[in-house]
């Protein structure tokens, strides 16, 4: 069977280009593996059949001949097992890739997500105004060490890997809120990663149905 990735047929403009199936599409593009997108409406995601595939009714979910799974980080790690384009062969190198994937999802993404919320649904709320500085300081405690790590390096390790897919898509979320601009190495890193041809193909594949299904 062709590798399948679930994605939305359409999302509001602020989310276009940021939906997390992008990570999976990008990994598949880097690995040179073909796939088809299973496009969902907002109603489809609540169907029992989809919840059996992705219990939270979110995207992405993924299946191939061997597995059926969800969670973008887990899926990208699974694809990395199939392709040296995403992880080196040696166990030490693979362990480092897994480490960066989990670091991005567990140590960095929750802090970035606060700012996506502040500038979206939370914009203007009193508690956001009160807590923004404190949460920006918490985010800085994650970004400053990463800035140090990436100064003078192209990627998190000595080559591009699945870790860079997850870390750069995580950091890319906060470019819009202006916080990343204070970190030149991280800004250059996100730009370097997202200039990769495989990223451009993945982004276009996500955006195409949004254009086609845009409300008239
Ligand atoms: N931890 C999950 C998060 C998935 C996620 O947040 N998906 C969003 C799109 S980026 C979604 O499906 N939102 C619709 C909803 O929650 O109803 C992953 O990385 O796969």
**C-alpha to C-alpha distance for 146 and 82, rounded to whole angstroms:** 28
Per-residue pLDDT averaged across 19-37, rounded? Answer: 98
- Cβ of 72 closer than 6 Å to ligand 1, yes or no, is yes
Model confidence at 63, in pLDDT bands (50, 70, 90)? very high
Chain segment 99-157, per-residue pLDDT in tens:
999 999 999 999 999 988 888 888 889 998 899 999 999 999 999 999 999 999 999 99
| Helical residues (DSSP H) of the chain, grouped into ranges | 21-31, 48-53, 72-82, 91-102, 109-119, 126-150, 162-172, 184-194, 197-212
pTM exceeds cut of 0.85: yes
- In the 8-state DSSP scheme, what is residue 106? I
Kindly state the tokens that stand for 208.
């195409």
Q: How far is the CA of 59 from the centre of ligand 1 (A)?
A: 5
Q: How far is the CA of 19 from the centre of ligand 1 (A)?
A: 7
Quick check: helix, strand or coil at residue 44?
helix
Take atom 13 of ligand 1 and give the residue whose Cα is closest. 58
**C-alpha to C-alpha distance for 34 and 105, rounded to whole angstroms:** 26
Take atom 12 of ligand 1 and give the residue whose Cα is closest. 58
- Cβ of 170 closer than 6 Å to ligand 1, yes or no, is no
What rounded mean pLDDT belongs to the chain? 96
Residue 215 scores a pLDDT above 90: no
Lookup result for tokens 């199936």: 21
At residue 16, the pLDDT reads 97
At residue 121, the pLDDT reads 85
Q: How far is the CA of 193 from the centre of ligand 1 (A)?
A: 22
Pocket test for ligand 1, best of 6, 17, 55, 59 (most atoms within 8 A of CB): 59
Per-residue pLDDT averaged across 4-29, rounded? Answer: 97
Q: Which atom of ligand 1 is closest in space to residue 73's alpha carbon?
A: 19
Chain segment 157-190, per-residue pLDDT in tens:
999 999 999 999 999 999 988 899 999 999 999 9
- In the 8-state DSSP scheme, what is residue 110? H
- In the 8-state DSSP scheme, what is residue 216? -
At residue 119, the pLDDT reads 82
Greater confidence (78 vs 132) lies with 78
Lookup result for tokens 């979206």: 120
Q: How far is the CA of 64 from the centre of ligand 1 (A)?
A: 20
- Cβ of 57 closer than 6 Å to ligand 1, yes or no, is yes
**Percent of the chain whose predicted confidence (pLDDT) is above 90:** 89
- Cβ of 173 closer than 6 Å to ligand 1, yes or no, is no
At residue 116, the pLDDT reads 87
- Cβ of 20 closer than 6 Å to ligand 1, yes or no, is yes
At residue 138, the pLDDT reads 96
């Amino acid at each position: 069977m062709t590798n399948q990735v679930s994605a939305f047929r359409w999302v509001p403009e602020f989310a276009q280009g940021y939906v997390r199936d992008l990570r999976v599409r990008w990994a598949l593009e880097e690995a040179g593996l073909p796939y088809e997108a299973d496009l969902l409406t907002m109603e489809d995601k609540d169907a029992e059949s989809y919840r059996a595939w992705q219990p939270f009714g979110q995207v992405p979910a993924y299946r191939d001949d061997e597995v059926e799974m969800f969670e973008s980080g887990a899926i990208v790690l699974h694809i990395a097992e199939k392709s040296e384009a995403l992880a080196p062969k040696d166990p030490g190198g693979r362990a480092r890739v897994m480490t960066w994937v989990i670091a991005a999802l567990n140590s960095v993404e929750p802090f970035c997500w606060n700012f996506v919320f502040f500038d979206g649904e939370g914009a203007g709320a009193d508690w956001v105004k009160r807590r923004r500085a404190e949460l920006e300081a918490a985010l800085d405690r994650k970004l400053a060490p990463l800035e140090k790590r990436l100064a003078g390096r192209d990627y998190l390790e000595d080559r591009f890997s699945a870790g860079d897919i997850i870390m750069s898509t995580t950091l890319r979320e906060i470019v819009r809120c202006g916080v990343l601009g204070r970190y030149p190495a991280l800004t250059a890193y996100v730009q370097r990663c997202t200039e990769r041809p495989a990223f451009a193909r993945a982004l276009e594949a996500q955006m195409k149905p949004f254009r086609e299904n845009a409300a008239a």
